[in-house]
Structure 1
Amino acid sequence: MSTATPAPSSRRCSRTRWIASPKSSRVEVNASTRLLAVIGDPVAHSLSPSMHNAAIGVLGLDAVYVALRTPAPALVTVLAALAAVGGAGNVTVPHKEAAERCVARKTDVCARVGACNTFWTEQGALVGDNTDVAGILAALRQLGADGAGSWLLVGTGGAARAVAVAAAAAKANLHVLSRDAGRARDFADWARQQGTHAAAARGTLEPDIAINATPAGLKDTDPLPLDPDSAARLHAALDLVYAPGGTRWVRTLTAAGVRAQDGREVLVHQGAAAFARFFPDQTAPLEVMRATVNRALGA
């Protein structure tokens, strides 16, 4: 694929014309443009199109990334259509687990998590991966945490599964906290099958790292996922939810002197890992992707 020398205000490639400014990008497409998409329901809130299109534009690639609202009954049809045209993309709620069952082949991480958030086409068939695990580990490194030690995980849903596999990779001890003690025990049992040292949280805990994998925090009126008074010994905290200005939990912990970050770094790093799957001969422009996300969130 050839790339022409860009003019000061634009970057062109042989098939796709990008007109870019610091705050927006516009792309002209034709029949040869590669289609990438994020699929979910709802999906209008997703920052993935802005983030990936910014990266595509900087590199002058002949591709476009869109959001496709995909009701559950249409998931198989949409994935098959993308495979037929050599497409690729990402999967968001509530389809990650179902997508893992739809792909023809999957990475070991995807199979262990039981959820697919990234897919691409090889020889007409979809291959699935889960880059959330890489995103979580990278976000922790961004906070200066190597991941070892004791983790407290709040939640037992799909996002929590990626945290558990990340904990196994970091050789961390995982304590699972849920409002339903039975679900916490069941999740810990599953996590141990993935090679994680895991148990349901009991009594007083002094974790090195706390991770919120619940939706709590999307609104400032939501209850905090973890009492800040129990966070005195925390080295770092990661909220998988992201919001303009950071979530209330992150703001509260930061004010208490804890290194804390919302889910934007997970989004950026999992996106960069996915981009490498989409374009294996390219290096994802991480800073461009981060700046796009921060701008969208008003940071």
Structure 2
Amino acid sequence: MKLFAVIGDPIVHSKSPRMHNNALQVLMKNAVYTRYHLKDNAKLKEIVNFFNGVNITIPFKEEAFKIADFKDKSVVDIGCANTLLNKNNKIYAYNTDYLGFLKAIDNFCNIKNALILGAGGTARALAFALKIKNIQVTISNRSSNRLKHLSDYECCLYSNLNLHKKFDLVINTTSAGLHDTDLPCNEIILKNIFSNARYAFDVIYGKNTPFLNLAKKYNLKTKDGLDMLLWQGVFAFELFLDCKKTKEIFKAMEIALKLP
């Protein structure tokens, strides 16, 4: 029996086990998928070696990049990984976040430029996804430390954002919104940005975040991260089991998320 898991901190909230286990059952695969709460990134490689494959979530995506023996081209370009496979005593790194994101925004049309709030591993993946679609990307963050490693994109602090620039799409990749009153940056800044935007996307899923609620007040078309979660899971499953039954996997995972 093969063993897979999602690794992160925190991790108890993750819906990945529900998604993957239902797909494993529907497709009759001899495997099980669990979750692992890791607090020390120095132990990531040791834990990964216990599984046939893992999904990596906050805050270990950059560490996942570092411990890999083989890195997919997208992983090299992004600088972080969310999917690791153990094959022949080697760790292979992939990134399915950017693929899931592109599927999630498939119905957002004519996007020429986008603003990403936050500069962590997820922001890197989404910036890469937009870049390969020839969409101009600006990344903004509250501190400058992470921005130093994103020289391929236009970057600035929240306090230096051009409030008169039009962004077709505004994306929140921060953890703001997990709490009912938090916004990723100052409300005045967001109001100015939203007044010239058309779409808003929040990687947080399963709730109407303050970010999305504010965007709706400006009549933006909004979307949370549920479809991104689903699709990145589908692509990870295909890698785990070398199984290309995309429609069947998606349907099984989608049904699992709808269960009470």
Alignment of 1:179-258 (within 5 A): 179-180=142-143, 182=144, 186=148, 190-192=150-152, 196=153, 198-200=154-156, 201-223=161-183, 225=185, 227-244=190-207, 246-258=208-220
Match of residue 252 from structure 2: 288
Indicate if the aligned counterparts of 1:109 and 1:129 stay in contact, CA closer than 8 A.
Answer: yes
What's the offset of the Cα at 1:184? 7.9
Indicate if the aligned counterparts of 1:156 and 1:183 stay in contact, CA closer than 8 A.
Answer: no
Match of residue 61 from structure 1: 29
Indicate if the aligned counterparts of 1:224 and 1:248 stay in contact, CA closer than 8 A.
Answer: no
Query: Normalised by the size of structure 1, how large is the TM-score?
Result: 0.76
Indicate if the aligned counterparts of 2:172 and 2:184 stay in contact, CA closer than 8 A.
Answer: no
Whether 2:56 is the aligned partner of 1:110: answer no
Query: Normalised by the size of structure 2, how large is the TM-score?
Result: 0.87
Counterpart CA distance in 1 for 2:179 and 2:245 is 35
Indicate if the aligned counterparts of 1:147 and 1:167 stay in contact, CA closer than 8 A.
Answer: no
Match of residue 168 from structure 1: 131
Match of residue 95 from structure 2: 130
Question: Taking structure 1 as reference, are residues 95 and 119 closer, same or farther at Cα in structure 2, changes over 3 Å only?
Answer: same
Indicate if the aligned counterparts of 1:218 and 1:242 stay in contact, CA closer than 8 A.
Answer: no
Relative contact order, CA 8 A, sep 6+: which one is greater?
2
Secondary structure of 1:174's aligned partner? strand
Match of residue 50 from structure 1: 18
Q: Which runs of 5 or more residues in structure 2 are unaligned? A: none
Counterpart CA distance in 2 for 1:253 and 1:295 is 29
Deviations 1:32-56 (A, max 9, x none): x111111122211111101111111
Counterpart CA distance in 2 for 1:74 and 1:183 is 24
Secondary structure of 1:227's aligned partner? helix
RMSD: 2.2
Q: Which runs of 5 or more residues in structure 1 are unaligned? A: 1-32
Identity %: 28
Greater gyration radius: 1
